[in-house]
Structure 1
Amino acid sequence: MRASVSTAQDLGMPAIYLHLLAELLHTIGVDERDLLLRVGLDPHRLNSTDLRVSQTQASEFVTRAIIESGEPGLGIMLARELKMPLHGALGTAVMSSRTLEDALELMTRYLTLRAPHLQVSKRQNGGNAWYTVSCGMDLGPLQGFIMDAVMFGCVFMGGQLTGQVVEGTRVLRRGPEPAYFQRFRSQLPVPVEYGASEDALVIPTSQLNLPIRFSNDQLAAASRNQCEEALRQLTEDAGFACRVRRVIETSHPFPPKLARVAGTLFVSERTLKRRLQEENASFQNLVDQVRLERAGELLTTTRMNLSQIADALGYADAANFTRAFKRWTGTSPSRYRNQALTPPVARPEPALSATT
């Protein structure tokens, strides 16, 4: 029996995918900003390859997006828009690989970084390599959307990487063909067969040696190291405090109330406080951590004045923000900004002594 979203570890979904989905909704006439705000997500925080959105919020947003757009094929539409740089370090590592097989090996190992709870297994049979994608938990309405995006996204990305359709490739999908798929069949460059016993990408082994157009051994090695570190960090960040922090990081309005975060995570306020205490954390400290990080970003990357920054961070006025910032950092926001924006003074080169 598979776990549900509310009971299993919430590893979060990369915010950038919801940002891209929001852009898609805009093109088909849906007020994406209003929809994000109703789910409690800050539209300005989603355009990041690093931030992750809690799975419960991601599921609610996708579910509402499908209902309000009347388009159950949003996962396939998203698959067409996925470009390698959107996948962070994994995208860079894949793009830098030597061959298609190397790229697929990276996807097999690190898919969890981009699509939590999905696993890829490989086997060879009859001259074909089978890359089977499975899910270790019940994602509810999010599952069909994610499987569409991942399975068909792999097909489109194969073309991006090799510069051609990978001949002989097939996509196998479990269950009966959904009614909406017929509208998209002609847009897919490879055959798709429903009614299979597994969700799989089937590629002739003769095609696995296709070279990647952007191959770079040095960049590939560095990016793979980043993927290893990210995977380690994601595993460590599976605790309850990290789940709470993810909700705080992407919430609108900011800072979110404790009751709102508890409701998002399907726990009572008392349970949220108790579980944070068990991890030696507190809700207010997590809010302040996010506030400090946002303050640093706003001070160094925008021209917002202190009153505007204070308002964005949920303070009554600039004075309250300044006091809190000094308490966190030991310096004022203005001095912090000046130091960050002032280029270091280059030391003069020592004069060469004259030779005689």
Structure 2
Amino acid sequence: MRVSASITQDLGMPAIYLHILAELLNSIGLDERDLLRRVGLDPVRLKSADVRVSQAQASEFVTRAMVESGEPGLGIMLASKLKLPLHGALGVAVMSSRTLQDALNLMTRYLTLRAPDLSVRRHEHGDNMHYSILCDGDPGPAQGFVMDAMLFGCAFMGEQLTGTTIKGSRILRMGPEPAYFHRFRPSIVIPVEYDAAENALVIPTEGLSAPIRFSDDQLAESSRTQCEDALKQLTGDAGFACRVRRVIETSYPFPPKLARAAATLFVSERTLKRRLQEESASFQNLVDQVRLERAVELLTGTSLSLNQITEVLGYADAANFTRAFKRWTGVSPSHYRAAERKSASVFPRAHSPETA
């Protein structure tokens, strides 16, 4: 598998998209959990709306999914499942916009939040507006999948937003029409033209004023603010330590060995240690941060026993977990759970293992 140039600035892919793809694989008879684990991803963690997967692992999973399923149209299948709420704050902002043009402007500005290695170039051509989708890196074998998911996803979501199709709108695709496309053409809501000069969504200029069915000015404003804050945080968290943490957060088995994390990020173990040290971080501290967060989630949000939580967190025995938890929080896991259940204000706030 070729490595995308954008991996050097890996902002991660929202895990929820891989979760939806995994569900698709299951529906066509593939053991999606086995495939995820072979890529080193924890199927359970992908359900979280806040988790991001390294783009290297996301690309590997998509590539293997296409090969092992024998279904080259997976990108179109995924596009049909991507309902707007799945896109987080950006989905809400788009849904609450006043017009289709407002919604597309938001997609153009904040696409990095959902697809970091894609960007949109908007240009007018005659009576039409072209929204060209550009790939900032080289997704390799997954390129067709990425463009299918993005462009056909836009077509499906446009119909969700306006309740109709915009007359004269169409999708442009570079290259010849793939052999599999005829199976999906009846389900595509607008015309698709292959052998085009660009990969683009084309909409007549007059159609951009089409009203959005879910328009809500107050919600639009608050969700745009969330998008802006999220974009600043995401691009501010572009350091190497954040990339390593993303690998740790989604790894199966957990916690990952340093060698596995280094291989996922296409660096040597020595380079990984050095680059973390340059950011005043260490691999073990990052593992412990994730372990603490998961421990708190499991203690307060589940009824798992202490031994079960110990196993999930990758400790050899409950005694080791208890010692680590007390070092981080000042109390034992049992006391933490009891205090949480009694009153959220009773237990001391957990400190980051890095500063504990």
Interval of TM-score (by shorter of Structure 1 and Structure 2): over 0.9
Residue 334 (structure 1) shift: 2.0
* Alignment match, 1:280: 280
CA deviation after TM superposition for structure 1 residue 6, in Å: 7.3
Q: Deviations over 1:247-300 (max 9, x none)?
A: 100000100100111111111111111111111110000000100110111111
Q: Is the 8 A contact 2:40 2:251 kept in 1?
A: yes
Cα distance per residue 1:109-165 (max 9 Å; x no partner): 001110112111212222211111111111112222111101000000011111112
User: 1:217: how far off?
Assistant: 1.1
| Aligned match of 1:238 | 238
Cα shift at 1:324: 0.7
- Alignment RMSD (CA, Å): 1.6
Partner of residue 75, structure 1: 75
Which residue is 1:332 aligned to? Answer: 332
- The percent identity for this pair of structures is 73
The 5-angstrom pairing of residues 142-153 of structure 1 reads 142-153=142-153
Cα distance in 1 between the residues matched to 2:52 and 2:74: 20
Name structure 1 gaps, 5 residues minimum.
Answer: 346-356
Distance, in Å, in 2 between the alignment partners of 1:5 and 1:67 is: 23
Q: Residue in 2 aligned with 1:90?
A: 90
Structure 2: gaps (5+ residues): 346-356
Change (3 A) 1:344 1:243: closer
1:176 aligned to 2:187? no
After TM superposition, the structure 1 stretch with the greater mean CA deviation from structure 2, 310-319 or 282-291, is 310-319
CA distance in 2, matches of 1:50, 1:66: 26
- Residues of 2 paired with 1:50 and 1:16: CA distance? 9
Greater CA deviation, 332-341 or 166-175? Answer: 332-341
Q: Tell whether the 8 Å contact from 1:49 to 1:87 is kept in structure 2 after alignment.
A: no
Partner-residue secondary structure (3-state), 1:214: coil
Question: Aligned letter for 2:75?
Answer: G
Q: CA deviation at 1:94?
A: 0.7
Contact 1:6 1:56 in 2 (8 A): no
- Residue in structure 1 matched with residue 23 of structure 2 by the alignment: 23
Tell me, in whole angstroms, the C-alpha distance in 1 between the residues paired with 2:92 and 2:301. Answer: 25
Matched residues in 1 for 2:135 and 2:37: separation?
A: 29
The residue aligned with 2:228 is: 228
Q: Which amino acid aligns with 1:148?
A: D
> Once structures 1 and 2 are overlaid, which stretch shifts more, 290-299 or 116-125?
116-125
TM-superposed deviation, 1:8: 2.8
Please name the residue that 1:154 is paired with.
154
1:247 and 2:252 matched: no
Q: Indicate the residue corresponding to 1:352 in structure 2.
A: none
Q: Which runs of 4+ in 1 moved over 6 A?
A: none
Matched position secondary structure for 1:198: coil
Determine the structure 2 residue equivalent to 1:121: 121
**Counterpart of 1:137 in 2: which secondary structure?**
coil
Counterpart AA for 1:188:
I
C-alpha displacement at 1:49, in angstroms? 2.1
Amino acid at match of 1:215: S
Match in the other structure for 1:296: 296
Return the alpha-carbon distance in structure 2 between the equivalents of residues 341 and 165 of structure 1. 51
TM-score when normalising by structure 2: 0.93
Q: 1:211 to 1:343 in 2, by over 3 A?
A: farther
- Aligned equivalent of 1:348: none
Using the TM superposition, name which of 157-166 and 3-12 deviates more. 3-12
SS of residue matched to 2:210: coil
Deviation (angstroms), 1:343:
4.9
Shift of 1:5: 4.2
Where 1:267 maps in the other structure, the secondary structure is coil
Q: How many residues align?
A: 344
Contact 1:121 1:131 in 2 (8 A): yes
Q: Which moved more, 1:6-15 or 1:59-68?
A: 6-15
**If you compute each CA radius of gyration, which structure gives the higher value, 1 or 2?**
1
Aligned residue runs from structure 1 range 305-320, under 5 A: 305-320=305-320
Q: CA contact under 8 A between 2:6 and 2:137: conserved in structure 1? A: no
SS of the aligned residue for 2:120 comes to: strand
